Structure 1
Amino acid sequence: MTLQAKLDAFKADFVAGKPPYNAPAPVHVIMKRATDELIASGQAQRTLKVGDKAPVFTLNDPEGNPVSSAELLAKGPLVISFYRGVWCPYCNMELQALEEALPQYRELGANLVAISPQVQANSRKSVRQNHLTFPILSDVKSQVAEAFGLRFKLPDYLIDLYKGFGNDLPTFNDDASWVLPMPGRFVIGQDGLITYAEVNPDYTLRPEPTDLLPALRG
């Protein structure tokens, strides 16, 4: 089953309220409104694109060790996946799919990192929960996401909904600003230029992990 098929099946169960999900219909209306507004804002069209120079960054892994994009690029191409956090089931399914594709990336000489705004303790949870063997990096206050054009602020009505769900982003991320990255996946060549870019303001839609293989081969 493809990654998107798994995401679609999860979304169908969630919207239908199948156990263990029991969100009432108004919840889905609110979440769809927020997604539609983010799409309409056009922000996804203003993110970094193929041919753009990728920002250079150093972020900490779950154990507090610095991971440098420049050092990784000295070894080969770099695959970067921006995700929302361990609280997001769609993100967890994507991380698992990326782990399955990791051997193919490594065969082509590439490294993979995933970046989220969550604190290191939650990154450790991401690693444990999804059985990951690639680095999960903490992007404090979503600064690297902002450099790629991905950071956005949640509307007030969605913040209220998240609070009701117990999704306390200020605690998850140690950041009171209620910002998240749009999910995005990039391939950076050793010259620092972006050779693959996929961003979708609808967090329920994710590219297949194999979609970027041509960029790595190229």
Structure 2
Amino acid sequence: MNFKFLTREESRVCVQIKIENLRQRGPWAINRSLIVLLFVFAATMFKPSLLAAKTPDVGGTAPDFTLSTPEGRAIRLSELTANGKVVLVVLRGYPGYQCPYCQRQAHDFQVNAGRFAENNTQVLLVYPGPPAELGERAKEFQAKQGELPANFHLVIDPDYKFTNQYGLRWDAPHETSYPSTFVIDSHGVILYRKVSHAHGDRTTADDVLAEVVKEK
């Protein structure tokens, strides 16, 4: 179901018109309908972002999703977890520039690709941002890291579908998503979660590998 959220001015005008119509019908109609109008007006003050999905937590099942690589290859989370653990790393992507904290974090994880492979773990990096040229921006991001290891995947989220699905949308100027990391087991259950509300507060490869080994 699609909802149209009115602006405050549109809501105010609608309420005024409705009240004027009710006045012509008498006091009883005003008293009966005014309560309903007040509820409708209050509802329009809430932004859709406040109704975002709740971020999945430890012990819960990671919602399945499919995103594409910058080259257009579709990757589905459940197909990765069917083969072992998955570390899901949500980057800030492209908020108007290449985030240096994201580059540092991605480099740290890729340097430790062999340790992830030893523990039968794949790493899925999500790169969100405005749809215009996001694939090219993601390629630029990856070029700074070098070729992806075989157990690493970089996908883009150009319409924030995944970001909203996981309740991670950072809805502010020059922002995209909250930097986050999840460790998901072969049954799709979340073993570890960290959601950061600051640019530099990131998990390290050592942090995540400690969780991966602990849950063997």
TM-score (norm 1): 0.65
Identify which of 103, 107, 113 aligns with 2:124. 113
Per-residue CA deviations over 1:24-63 (Å, capped at 9, x if unaligned) read xxxxxxxxxxxxxxxxxxxxxx632211110101110111
The answer (yes or no) to whether the contact 2:82–2:187 under 8 Å persists in 1 is no
Structure 1: tracts of 5 or more residues without a match: 1-45, 163-178
Identify which of 161, 176, 181 aligns with 1:180. 176
- Aligned residue for 1:130, secondary structure, equals coil
Structure 2: tracts of 5 or more residues without a match: 1-53
Q: Give the structure 2 partner of residue 149 of structure 1.
A: 167
Q: Give the structure 1 partner of residue 87 of structure 2.
A: 79
Identify which of 156, 165, 169 aligns with 1:138. 156
The answer (yes or no) to whether the contact 1:151–1:180 under 8 Å persists in 2 is yes
Q: Give the structure 1 partner of residue 104 of structure 2.
A: 93
- Aligned residue for 1:153, secondary structure, equals coil
Rounded Cα–Cα distance in structure 2 between residues aligned with 1:139 and 1:204 = 21
Q: Which has the higher contact order (CA 8 A, sep 6+)?
A: 1
Rounded Cα–Cα distance in structure 2 between residues aligned with 1:215 and 1:149 = 23
Q: CA RMSD in A?
A: 1.5
Rounded Cα–Cα distance in structure 2 between residues aligned with 1:132 and 1:147 = 29
Q: Is residue 2:72 matched to residue 1:49?
A: no
The answer (yes or no) to whether the contact 2:87–2:182 under 8 Å persists in 1 is yes
Rounded Cα–Cα distance in structure 2 between residues aligned with 1:152 and 1:90 = 16
- Aligned residue for 1:116, secondary structure, equals strand
**1:152 Cα deviation (Å)?**
2.2
Q: Which amino acid aligns with 1:76?
A: G
Map 1:189-204 → 2, pairs under 5 A: 189-204=185-200
- Aligned residue for 2:170, secondary structure, equals strand
Per-residue CA deviations over 1:48-105 (Å, capped at 9, x if unaligned) read 2211110101110111000111111111111110011251111111111111122111
Runs of 4+ more than 6 Å apart: none
TM-score (norm 2): 0.66
Q: Which amino acid aligns with 1:122?
A: R
The answer (yes or no) to whether the contact 2:180–2:196 under 8 Å persists in 1 is yes
Count of aligned residue pairs for this structure pair: 151
Q: Give the structure 1 partner of residue 20 of structure 2.
A: none
Q: Which amino acid aligns with 2:115?
A: Q
Identify which of 95, 119, 138 aligns with 1:123. 138
Q: Which protein has the larger Cα radius of gyration, Structure 1 or Structure 2?
A: 2
**1:181 Cα deviation (Å)?**
0.7
Rounded Cα–Cα distance in structure 1 between residues aligned with 2:56 and 2:147 = 27
